[in-house]
Amino acid sequence: MYRLIHSSMHSHMCTFSMRLIFFILLFLFACV
């Protein structure tokens, strides 16, 4: 049970960080 929750949380963090990086790149391109 704990492992399942941990893995799902980890994948959620990965997608969140990817989205964050995408928004940062978009912001940089918008500035340029």
Place of tokens 């340029």: 32
Q: How is residue 10 written in tokens?
A: 């980890």
- Report the distance separating Cα 32 and Cα 28, nearest Å: 6
Give pLDDT tens digits for 1-32. 567 767 777 777 778 888 999 999 999 999 88
| The pLDDT value given to residue 2 | 66
- Report the distance separating Cα 23 and Cα 16, nearest Å: 11
| The pLDDT value given to residue 1 | 55
